[in-house]
Structure 1
Amino acid sequence: MYKSKLAIAVFIFFAFAKVQAQVSFKPGLRGGLSLSTISEMHADYRPDFYIGGFGEINLTKRYALQPEINYNRQGSNNVARNYTDPITGTENVAHQDLKLDYLSFSIINKFTFGPGFQIQFGPALDVLVHDNLALRKENNDLAFVTGIGYHMPSGLAFEFRFKKGFFDVLDSDYYHNNTNSHYFFGDYNTNINFQIGISYSFETK
């Protein structure tokens, strides 16, 4: 019995030591083009930028867990809103570019295939830091991120991501467009964001 326990303890020790030897940490920076809109609005995509930092924890040769902090400028351009003029009583249409800037905290799972192709996905918590909305339902957002990337031996990587928010960000009683009544405008307006950019991870000793 004693020898069996000793053998199990030795096996666990060497297995843990092997895992520890494979684990590495690489800090990095990322940034690029942000294209965003808000669902069910018949509005234009808003081009802007995102920038952030990350820590890539390589647990195996093919899998890494990557916590990130990103500043992401989102929103939607050319949003049409029908309203009644309080003075004349006439119906008017106003167009406005909506801005929603978030500080995003995400945990990204990265699986590497072949020489450097990656599949990325994970949750994100977006904390609102600035906006120009007259009325809104939620200050913050919870989103899911997915995408692909190509990582080169130099540490430079090219990334394409899609991020979908889950929270209703607009007050539909204010941002209402009767001309789009055949859509579910105003019922559930969520953030939609595409990111196209690069990242660079630094070698650590």
Structure 2
Amino acid sequence: MRKFLFASLAAMAVATGTYAQKKVTYGLKGGLNLSNNNAEFDFFRAGIYAGGFTEIKLNKHWAIQPELLYYRNQSPGLVYLAADDHLARGKRKEDYIAIPLIVKYYIKPKLYVEAGPEVNFLLNAKEDVPGRSYNTIGHYNRLNVSGSLGVGYQLPHGFGVNARYSLGVQSVDAGATTYNNTGKIGFTYTFPSK
């Protein structure tokens, strides 16, 4: 997994260097992460996301935007307690590092739509039930992939708003077929270019 993470970061650096003659900007983003999965957790739960991005403008309409994000998924529902061999009402918490590779299309100079793949690395997983907390990272695949669609708008002074939905295409659960679904709503800040 470390090799894959290193290779992904190296690819982002090469992409930035390859398009150095194009307009390259850097920024930060963060906001609300709403997550659920296709198992028994049937409604979205709020968490956070934060990270950075590099936008590489290819021309007036097209840009590539690699990102590095941290986010937390939280899903309430039934949790299986293996030690007690029963189900209990609880909450799953999963912490991820995500590397989306987003392609942006500017409909207008400030308004864009975006799409692309996202590779997610599981950092931590636990299940909380009343009075107890269990480390469950061994029950999950440490690496999963999502597909993302979104929209955004650039505001004055480098600020912007962005909304994105990511649909899991690879199971996150090592013992079942469970896909993460996340919606991210937040703000961006693009540093002034020189």
Aligned to 2:169: 166
Q: Which amino acid aligns with 2:103?
A: N
Aligned to 2:112: 118
How far off its partner does 1:167 sit? 2.0
Is the contact between residue 28 and residue 53 of structure 1 (CA under 8 Å) also seen in structure 2? yes
Kindly indicate whether residue 121 of structure 2 is the aligned counterpart of residue 127 of structure 1: yes
Q: Which amino acid aligns with 2:145?
A: L
**Cα root mean square deviation, aligned:** 2.4
Change (3 A) 1:20 1:93: closer
Change (3 A) 1:167 1:136: farther
Superposed CA offset, 1:101-144 (max 9, x none): 11001111111112421101111111111111535241111111
Whole-angstrom CA distance in 2 between matches of 1:38 and 1:75: 10
Structure having the higher strand fraction is 2
How many residue pairs align between the two structures?
167
Whole-angstrom CA distance in 2 between matches of 1:142 and 1:166: 6
Superposed CA offset, 1:84-110 (max 9, x none): 956xxxxx5401210111100111111
2:181 to 169, 180, 192: 192
Kindly indicate whether residue 193 of structure 2 is the aligned counterpart of residue 204 of structure 1: yes
Q: Is the partner of 1:132 in helix, strand or coil? A: strand
TM, length-normalised to structure 1: 0.73
Whole-angstrom CA distance in 2 between matches of 1:107 and 1:171: 25
Name stretches of at least 5 consecutive residues in structure 2 with no aligned partner. 1-18, 128-135
Q: Which amino acid aligns with 2:149?
A: T
Is the contact between residue 52 and residue 69 of structure 1 (CA under 8 Å) also seen in structure 2? yes
How far off its partner does 1:83 sit? 7.5
Is the contact between residue 44 and residue 79 of structure 1 (CA under 8 Å) also seen in structure 2? no
Mean CA deviation greater in 23-32 or 74-83: 74-83
Whole-angstrom CA distance in 1 between matches of 2:89 and 2:35: 17
Name stretches of at least 5 consecutive residues in structure 1 with no aligned partner. 1-18, 87-91, 173-185
Is the contact between residue 47 and residue 74 of structure 2 (CA under 8 Å) also seen in structure 1? no
Percent identity (aligned): 29
Q: Is the partner of 2:139 in helix, strand or coil? A: coil
Is the contact between residue 122 and residue 145 of structure 1 (CA under 8 Å) also seen in structure 2? yes
Whole-angstrom CA distance in 2 between matches of 1:72 and 1:85: 31
Aligned to 1:150: 153
Greater CA radius of gyration, 1 or 2? 1
Superposed CA offset, 1:167-205 (max 9, x none): 222255xxxxxxxxxxxxx5x210000000010111221
Whole-angstrom CA distance in 2 between matches of 1:84 and 1:43: 25
Q: Is the partner of 1:127 in helix, strand or coil? A: strand
Change (3 A) 1:68 1:84: closer
Whole-angstrom CA distance in 1 between matches of 2:63 and 2:84: 56
Whole-angstrom CA distance in 1 between matches of 2:55 and 2:96: 22
Q: Which amino acid aligns with 1:99?
A: K
